[in-house]
Copies of this chain bind each other. A is one copy, B any other.
């Protein structure tokens, strides 16, 4: 609770479809929302610009961008999201975790995996929550379109909540208990899109593509685009985002 009994939350906001929907859910549940984004050496900045637009459109009281260098140059990576690794295109099933199983040792982790990313983001959100007096943290992870990321699973979210309540002065002193909200965790992509549309999310403001054109238009072919387009198709809706010269109609 903040001053005057308002419900405060910190919402992780990437600028993508999932986190925009998550912010809309948090607002719908009556939370005053501090949106938090990360400039972590992404290859392009369209995501952060989208996050700013989404935060404003959905009425976040503040949008903070924390800089942290997780690129290979900064000692991290190598991930296709932060470094010059080619983003996979046109995979048949459009699901990153359905790639070739010929290598049994590392079958499921896509090249877009950034080591410990959600752990790092939630940790910083936790610190930020403690500063603003919030005990509720929202994250748009999803275990259905799981994508091979271990830090998108319910067990991970639960473990982080347990940690948060041991790690912070606010919790240890009994001022409150931290709750990690992952409202999308059991939804399919089309359920997420239906939820967002019902809450008035303008998905034209969001950005999902891993490999956009210079003007920000989505490629339509990377895993993120294909998952998104399939989601809109299954929701019976049209994706209002700008694509590079291809139809955005359901395929």
Interface residues of A (CB under 8 A from B): 64, 66-70, 74-78, 105-106, 108-109, 113-120, 122-124, 126-128, 130-131, 148, 150-151, 153, 155-156, 159-160, 162-164, 166-169, 171-173, 175
Given contacts A75-B128, A131-B75, A169-B113, contact A119 B163 (CB under 8 A): yes
**Are B69 and A66 in contact (CB-based, < 8 A)?**
yes
The interface residues of chain B lying within 8 Å CB-to-CB of A151 are 166-168
Bound-complex Cα distance A84 to B108 (A): 47
The interface residues of chain B lying within 8 Å CB-to-CB of A76 are 127-128, 131
The interface residues of chain B lying within 8 Å CB-to-CB of A130 are 115-116
Least CB distance, A77 to chain B, in whole angstroms: 7
Instruction: Among B118, B119, B163, point to the contact of A156 (Cβ < 8 A).
Output: B163
Least CB distance, A187 to chain B, in whole angstroms: 21
Given contacts A66-B69, A66-B75, A163-B163, contact A127 B131 (CB under 8 A): no
A sample of 19 cross-chain residue pairs with beta-carbon separation below 8 angstroms, ordered by A number, consists of: A70-B127, A75-B128, A75-B131, A76-B131, A105-B175, A106-B169, A108-B169, A114-B127, A115-B127, A115-B130, A116-B124, A116-B167, A116-B168, A117-B127, A119-B167, A120-B127, A150-B172, A156-B167, A160-B163
If A78-B131, A105-B173 are given as contacts, then 10 extra A-B residue pairs at C-beta distance below 8 Å, sorted by A number, are A64-B75, A115-B130, A115-B131, A115-B168, A116-B167, A119-B127, A119-B168, A153-B166, A155-B166, A156-B163
Bound-complex Cα distance A74 to B127 (A): 12
Bound-complex Cα distance A106 to B167 (A): 16
The interface residues of chain B lying within 8 Å CB-to-CB of A78 are 131
**Are A119 and B126 in contact (CB-based, < 8 A)?**
yes
Bound-complex Cα distance A64 to B77 (A): 14
The interface residues of chain B lying within 8 Å CB-to-CB of A131 are 75-78, 115
The interface residues of chain B lying within 8 Å CB-to-CB of A168 are 115-116, 119, 150-151
Instruction: Among B109, B116, B126, B167, point to the contact of A127 (Cβ < 8 A).
Output: B116
Bound-complex Cα distance A124 to B117 (A): 8
**Are A115 and B169 in contact (CB-based, < 8 A)?**
yes
Least CB distance, A38 to chain B, in whole angstroms: 10
Least CB distance, A76 to chain B, in whole angstroms: 6
Given contacts A130-B115, A151-B167, A168-B150, contact A69 B67 (CB under 8 A): yes
